[in-house]
Structure 1
Amino acid sequence: MPEDPIAHSELAALTRRFEEVAEKHDREFGILKSNLTAVRPHIGNLNQKVEALDKKIDRNQAQITELLTQLVGQRPDAS
């Protein structure tokens, strides 16, 4: 069976398109990976800040509870 030049041409075009798309995806993946690497330290820093805020909120809630407990039973007009 003789080779079909049109089929070979179409196959070559499809191969080129596939390779171009694969290269584009590789570049985009590299960019995403780089961005993720850059963001990771910020996430760690945010986690530390959230933990510190949680501790501060817990302390404040404990202080409020203690103060309210002390006020229970006191008359409003007593100094």
Structure 2
Amino acid sequence: MLPAHEKGAARDKNGPTFAERKKNAADIAINRFESIVLGNPRSARVLRWLDERILAAFSFGLLIQITILFSLLGGRHHG
């Protein structure tokens, strides 16, 4: 009887191990996703739009943080 971590290591009569089949299936799924999403012009536009919005939101958030920081540091005037 094989230990639990070696159960997937035994080769099938027909070829690759269970772990190899699992990795191959994951690679196929990733490649399929990339070809559908990245190969589709509409998806590319959506991803570009999302990228622009994320960058804008990040920049706006950074601007707000800097404004708050300066107001905290420079807002204390002693007369």
Computing the radius of gyration from Cα coordinates, the structure with the larger value is 1
TM-score, normalised to structure 1, is 0.47
For normalisation by structure 2, the TM-score amounts to: 0.47
Structure holding more helix per residue: 1
